[in-house]
């Protein structure tokens, strides 16, 4: 069992802080007259009822989510998208102008973006070419050279490459790295591999991010979750904006949580379309390499990525051009669409005249 001293990890000034005292958290017991938050008692100009502040700690959503995930509510932090969770984690652990985070490109660009927005340093150790697995010795070397690295960001399945990161490598880093290891599982629902949330009890320096934006089909509601040791969750709650998840979002997420079977059906449909798309890509001479994926997108390599990207745009089909990402030269990333969208994409590919 790894034991990180989270009180030493968190920035000292946060240890001194109390969570913001939201009006509605100041009392206990039943109440029906709320004259504590200077709200408009009549209603909302827009119609609908938006006049009351939302639950700052999203108690109902966390209770339901805890049940679904087999966790305790105090292991759950909810953010305005997982982007907010990433930003807050950096802000509780990294001293601007001094500390750094480490991530392994090619990877989701939000870790770099959020670190830089907070004037936190970024250390990059490339993944292994082609397999896109971690270069563990290089990561270990880097964390030993720079004691100011506070957070290690891993993404599994990895965006944009699609592969899962080897379990054994993550275990090594959880044991060897004294800071927080964050595993971004935005695409977890698309794979059969077990989630790292099952192992939160073993490692108190493990944090796992998931989101409602992909498999649940709720990107617009903006809800991301960070699962971690209750002590770490407490620090996140301490500095978050009091009403970071609005009531409309909490209500639609509660409705969604009644139907995880619908999510599973979406996942099955997307995975079936993915298999189909993979087979089609493998038939095209244009495609030099198609990478295996555990997510709802496929990375593939062509001779003229920029030209193909433009060709697809001309046909009204937008994919992600990853040609300039490290180790991804010649690569485009296509999200798995519905049957009709995938057909349009494949037809546009077939029309491409190279050279
Ligand atoms: C899409 C995605 C997210 C989700 O971000 P939200 O802010 O929750 O929408 C997180 N991580 C990765 C790697 C992603 O691709």
**Nearest alpha carbon to residue 275 among 260, 285, 290:** 290
**Rounded-to-integer distance, Cα 78 and Cα 236, Å:** 9
pLDDT, greater one: 61 or 23? 61
| Contact assessment for residue 107 and residue 153, using Cβ atoms and an 8 Å cutoff | yes
Alpha helices per DSSP H over 70-196: 82-93, 110-117, 136-145, 167-176
Within its chain, how far is the Cα of 177 from the centroid?
Answer: 21
Q: Which ligand 1 atom sits closest to the C-alpha of 82?
A: 8
Cα(86) to ligand 1 centroid in Å equals 10
Q: Which ligand 1 atom sits closest to the C-alpha of 211?
A: 8
Indicate the pTM of the whole model. 0.97
Model pLDDT for residues 286-333, shown as the tens digit of each residue:
999 999 999 999 999 999 999 999 999 999 999 999 999 999 999 999
Query: Which residue has the least CA distance to atom 14 on ligand 1?
Result: 186
Cα(115) to ligand 1 centroid in Å equals 16
Grouping H, G, I as helix, E, B as strand and the rest as coil, residue 137 is: helix
Cα(40) to ligand 1 centroid in Å equals 35
Cα(355) to ligand 1 centroid in Å equals 36
354 pLDDT above the threshold of 90: no
| Contact assessment for residue 152 and residue 177, using Cβ atoms and an 8 Å cutoff | yes
**Nearest alpha carbon to residue 228 among 182, 164, 193:** 182
Grouping H, G, I as helix, E, B as strand and the rest as coil, residue 209 is: strand
1 pLDDT above the threshold of 70: no
Which pLDDT score, from 0 to 100, does residue 29 have? 87
Model pLDDT for residues 244-302, shown as the tens digit of each residue:
999 999 999 999 999 999 999 999 999 999 999 999 999 999 999 999 999 999 999 99
Cα(83) to ligand 1 centroid in Å equals 7
186 pLDDT above the threshold of 50: yes
| Contact assessment for residue 112 and residue 121, using Cβ atoms and an 8 Å cutoff | no
Residue of 84, 110, 189 best suited for mutating to test ligand 1, as the one with most atoms within 8 Å of CB = 110
Q: Which ligand 1 atom sits closest to the C-alpha of 84?
A: 7
For residue 247, give every residue at least 6 positions away whose Cβ sits within 8 Å of its Cβ, in sequence order, or none: 50, 52, 54, 55
Alpha helices per DSSP H over the chain: 6-9, 12-16, 59-69, 82-93, 110-117, 136-145, 167-176, 230-239, 247-257, 260-283, 305-314, 339-350
Which pLDDT score, from 0 to 100, does residue 355 have? 76
- What is residue 47's DSSP assignment? S
Which pLDDT score, from 0 to 100, does residue 2 have? 58
Which pLDDT score, from 0 to 100, does residue 25 have? 80
């Amino acid at each position: 069992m790894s034991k990180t001293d989270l009180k030493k990890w968190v920035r000292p000034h946060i240890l001194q802080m109390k969570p913001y005292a939201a009006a509605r958290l100041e009392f206990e017991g039943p109440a029906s007259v709320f004259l504590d938050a200077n709200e408009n008692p009549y209603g909302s100009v827009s119609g609908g009822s938006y006049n009351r502040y939302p639950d700052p700690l999203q108690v109902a959503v966390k209770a339901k989510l805890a049940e679904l995930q087999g966790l305790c509510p105090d292991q759950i932090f909810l953010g305005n998208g997982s982007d907010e969770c990433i930003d807050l984690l950096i802000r509780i652990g990294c001293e601007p102008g001094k500390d750094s985070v480490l991530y392994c490109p090619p990877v989701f660009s939000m870790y770099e973006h959020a670190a830089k927005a907070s004037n936190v340093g970024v250390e990059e150790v490339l993944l292994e070419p082609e397999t896109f697995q971690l270069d563990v010795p290089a990561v270990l070397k880097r964390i030993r050279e720079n004691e100011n690295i506070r957070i290690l960001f891993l993404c599994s399945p990895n965006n944009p490459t699609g592969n899962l990161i080897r379990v054994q490598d993550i275990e090594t880093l959880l044991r060897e790295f004294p800071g927080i290891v964050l595993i971004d599982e935005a695409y977890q629902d698309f794979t059969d591999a077990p989630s790292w949330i099952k192992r939160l009890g073993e490692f108190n320096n493990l944090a796992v991010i998931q989101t409602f934006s992909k498999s649940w089909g709720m990107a617009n509601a903006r809800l991301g979750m960070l699962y971690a040791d209750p002590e770490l969750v407490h620090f996140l709650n301490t500095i978050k904006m009091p009403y970071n998840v609005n009531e409309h979002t909490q209500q639609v997420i509660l409705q969604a949580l009644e139907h995880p079977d619908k999510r599973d059906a979406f996942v099955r449909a997307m995975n079936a379309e993915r298999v189909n798309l993979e087979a089609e890509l493998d038939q095209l001479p244009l495609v030099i390499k198609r990478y295996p994926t555990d997510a709802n997108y496929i990375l593939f390599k062509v001779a003229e990525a920029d030209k193909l990207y433009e060709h697809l745009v001309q046909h009204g089909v937008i994919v992600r051009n990853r040609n300039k990402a490290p180790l991804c030269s010649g690569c485009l990333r296509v999200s798995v669409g519905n049957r009709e969208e995938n057909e349009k994409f494949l037809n546009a590919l077939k029309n491409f005249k190279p050279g």
